[in-house]
Amino acid sequence: MKDITGIALFGIVFSGEYMSRSAMAGFIPVMVTVIIVGAYLGLTPATPPTTVSATSNSTTTIITPDCSAPCAVWTKPSGSNPEALAISPDDSFVAVGNDQTLQVFNAQGNELWSYNTSHVISSISISSNDQYIAVGGWQIEGGPGTAAAYTNGEVYLFNAASGKLLWSKDTGSSNPVWKVVLSSDGSKLSVDTENSIMYLGGAEGNTIWSYSTGGNVVGMDMSADGTLVVASMGPIVAFNDQGTILWSHPAMTLAVSVNSVAVSSDGSYVWVGSAVDGYNGSL
């Protein structure tokens, strides 16, 4: 078992069991520690210690940093595999996908609610108004000694305050769900099903439109008005909320690969992270 623990500035740190998107890859079990950093949450740090120390046992590792940097306010051993994390826009709660369980904690580390799904949670998105939490996930077919396949994608939408499941939706294919993105008001939800996009209505989960990318989706983001930008093994494409293509840019070539995209809230700007042959990256 490999123990990996870290601290990041202004955010949540977790070390989890990493699962490659390659169906042929094996699993790397690691120990898990979730750390909330006080400076991010706007909490007053404790009296600064004079040294940096770490204690550990078979289940968790607690880091005590120098409080001249952001300090850990609380830690939470997950006991399993946190594949996904999201912080609410108002910093009042954090949602953690812990294997097949969605857990929601407040800023003090108290669990507000949890929900057991039947899918490994791969992605979490929280609406800008803090009212909705969307979750995407997948199941595994195969096992030790055989090729593992990620399949049977599913999407869930929750009321963030109560934890009530509003709806769940089978994507209707054998592909997994790798990423979900909610619109700012939670009325629209985009779903990455590996080589296609589903654009759903937030009220009932009905499919508004879908689009086949012809290759693996490598990046996806949505502006406040529902404009969706998708990067795949082909061009970068922008859609309006009805699925009409607004523009397309041939960013992907044999030499250059796009790894991520981000869209400004008003949709005026798109940032793209790319690399040449896996190296010499640019933005």
Amino acid letter, 233 = M
pLDDT of residue 174: 80
CB 30 within 8 A of CB 4: yes
**Integer Cα distance of 103 and 5 in angstroms:** 20
Helix (H) or strand (E) segment spanning residue 206: none
Closest by alpha carbon to 33, among 67, 65, 70, 59? 59
Q: Encode the chain (283 residues) as per-residue pLDDT tens digits.
A: 333 333 333 333 333 333 434 433 443 333 333 444 443 344 444 444 433 344 444 444 444 555 556 677 778 776 677 889 999 999 999 999 989 999 999 988 899 999 999 899 999 999 999 999 999 998 878 767 777 777 788 999 999 999 999 999 998 878 889 999 999 999 999 999 888 999 999 889 999 999 998 888 888 999 988 999 998 877 889 999 999 999 998 765 544 567 788 988 888 888 887 766 656 555 5
Burial class (CB in 10 A: 0-12, 13-18, 19+), 274: buried
**CB-facing half-sphere around the CA of 262: CA atoms within 13 A:** 5
Domains of the chain as residue ranges with CATH:
1-79 (no CATH), 81-212 (2.130.10.10), 214-283 (2.40.10)
pLDDT of residue 13: 35
What is the distance between the terminal CA atoms of the chain, rounded to a whole angstrom? Answer: 36
Q: How many residues does the chain have?
A: 283
Q: pTM for this one?
A: 0.74
Closest by alpha carbon to 251, among 215, 220, 227, 275? 275
